[in-house]
Structure 1
Amino acid sequence: MPLVRIDLPQGKSPEYRHSVGDVVYEAMRTTLNVPENDRFQVITEHAPGGLVIDPTYLGIARSGDALMIQVTLNAGRSVELKKAFYKAVADGLHERVGLRREDVLIQLVEVPKENWSFGNGEAQYA
């Protein structure tokens, strides 16, 4: 169960937000082997000043449309799969919503399987 948090600048349409979520989910399914229906996302818009993204860190020129994607997921995926995921998301967002690849920041947070409860107060993967 990856938990995805997407933080983006305020003012995007519901269709834009939905498309961003779709792209991330599709990339997880195709590159990280996430099962069907394993979609848990929090998409949050931020007013000016509420989303701080350096415009030039590591020599990458970012615009005011830059967004951040944080995915908490089970540990164990290879570096190759992670790289494929990053590329799939950046390319997918560019193609689907016209977002520049430079404006896509992604962070993966890996946790042990026993750190999840899907309901009923149980650790289903433990």
Structure 2
Amino acid sequence: MPLMRIDVLKGHNQDYLEKLLNIAYEAQLEVFHTPKGDRYQILTQHEPVEMQILDTGLGIKRTQNVTIFNLVTRPRSTKDKQLFYDKVTERLEKELAIQKSDVVFSLIPNNDDDWSFGNGEAQFLNGSL
């Protein structure tokens, strides 16, 4: 169950943003095998000055389509993480013309006792999930 935060620059229309969210969610379902309906996404749009996304010395060029994915998630295998990065960037490039160089990922692993989906309960621990 990832909590997915996505940061983009302002200026994209609603169709673009909805497609972006759907692509990420569909890749999550396919690669991480999460149950359908396990969708926790927060999209934030920023003014250009609010996103300083450089290249860490790699020579990567960024455009107005720079997109940052930050996922808090149960532990995932290295293979699954790499497959997720690949699936998302392939579809973003094909369907939204977002260059692969504009997509940045950061995954933060956590454990079952780090989640409560409501009612002050730890559903992974009490058997609800």
Give the TM interval when normalised to the shorter protein: over 0.9
Alignment gaps of 5+ in structure 1 = none
Tell me how large the CA RMSD over aligned residues is. Answer: 1.2
Deviates more, 1:52-61 or 1:3-12: 52-61
Equivalent residue for 1:2?
A: 2
Matches within 5 A, 1:62-101: 62-75=62-75, 77-101=76-100
The C-alpha deviation readout for 1:30-69, integer Å capped at 9, x for no partner, is 1111111101110010012011101564222222321101
| TM-score between the two structures when normalised by the length of structure 1 | 0.94
How many residues align? The count is 125
Inter-CA distance 110–98: structure 2 relative to 1 (3 Å threshold)? same
Q: Distance in 2 between matches of 1:105 and 1:26?
A: 18
Q: Distance in 1 between matches of 2:69 and 2:11?
A: 17
Equivalent residue for 1:38?
A: 38
Equivalent residue for 2:19?
A: 19
Alignment gaps of 5+ in structure 2 = none
Deviates more, 1:107-116 or 1:46-55: 46-55
Runs in 1 of length 4+ with deviation above 6 angstroms? none
- Counterpart of 1:7 in 2: which secondary structure? strand
Q: Distance in 2 between matches of 1:51 and 1:80?
A: 29
- Counterpart of 2:20 in 1: which secondary structure? helix
